[in-house]
Amino acid sequence: MNTFLKTGLSIVGGLAVLAAIGWLGLQIPPRIVSPVTGKSQVLGDVRIPENLPAPVLRYLHVALGDRAPRIESAVFWGRAQANFGVWMPMRFQLYHRLGYDFRRDMQMTWFGFPVLKALDQYVNGQGMTGLVGKADTGTRVDQGSNMILFAEAPLYPSIFVTDSRIRWVAIDETSAQMFFPFGAEEDSMTVYFDPQTALITKMTALRYFGANGEKEPWRVDFLTWQQVDDMTIPARSAITWEKQGKPWSYWDITGVAWNVDLSAMLTATLSTQPVKETP
């Protein structure tokens, strides 16, 4: 075997080893990081009204029972996977001031260690999404970020009872149109319910594709559910742009805290956000 062929085979072998190491690093799930939060508060509850479309009412009684706890803020944390040409493992912390602001801090990991930081947020009526330091903004991002704010409402189903700005229009026995505020206007999405469990199966809407794209069909599928503090909320969800034909990300909720002070979390930069690592 001549020297040239040996060299070529060595290079190919080396690249194969590097590719295998790179792939292996993406298979290791990150350690979960929970935010430092204050003590959760109990703010009482309210009765679920009966003047709602039938599938919405059935869902609320399954998710909440007869009464809805008053929730003003919530924190969630867990793991995710997103397809950026290759599936990347992530961990995240998600902060919501219900119906007004949210922020999701994300760390993409390799061999369990953070290698990239990103965020999604809608704070004070302005959206932002992307890698930290290179995130997109603008009116189209605002619309998409506000859409996320309300698409994540099943994580805190009380909002469907306590936020009078949300209104429903019946479609049929297993779907309804949800209208919600977007600045001085309204936006909407179609909500579908399982005829057997009464839980939400998916939400669909038209959302701007990034900062410069046009409105595209977009959906959230709720894949599994969990019981948390006497409420039924999503455990796993998937996000899909219909033109891509399959989910581009999956999100798993592993921890929740209700009614905590989020003033620092919704104004702090990612570099100053304190986190507490869990074992």
Identify the band that residue 185 occupies on the pLDDT scale cut at 50, 70 and 90. very high
Judge residue 184's burial from the number of C-beta atoms within 10 Å of its C-beta, 0-12 exposed, 13-18 middle, 19 or more buried: exposed
The whole-number average pLDDT for the span 185-200 is: 98
Q: How high is the pLDDT of residue 85? A: 85
Distance CA(46)–CA(143), nearest Å, equals 30
Residue from 112, 96, 146, 126 nearest 253 by CA: 96
Average pLDDT, rounded, for the chain: 87
- pLDDT grade for 279, boundaries at 50, 70 and 90: very low
Share of the chain above pLDDT 70, in %: 83
Q: What is the mean pLDDT of residues 84-105?
A: 94
Residue 20 predicted with pLDDT over 60: no
Q: For 64-71, what is the mean pLDDT?
A: 96
Backbone angles phi, psi at 38, to 5 degrees: -75, -175
Tell me the β-bridge partners of 147: none
pLDDT at residue 116 is higher than 50:
yes
What's residue 94's pLDDT?
96
How does 61-86 read in b/e, with b if 16+ C-beta sit within 10 Å? ebbbeeebbbbbbbbbbbbbbbeeee
Residue 37's SS3 state is coil
DSSP state letters, 233-258: EEEEEEEEEGGG-S-SEEEEEEEEEE
Counting residues of the chain whose pLDDT is more than 90, the rounded percentage is: 72
Q: Which domains does the chain have, with CATH numbers?
A: 31-277 (2.50.20)
Q: Is 172 in contact with 193 (CB distance < 8 Å)?
A: no
- Tell if the pTM clears 0.75, that is, is over it: yes
What pLDDT shows up at residue 276? 40
Q: Does residue 103 surpass a pLDDT of 80?
A: yes
* CB atoms closer than 10 angstroms to residue 159: 22
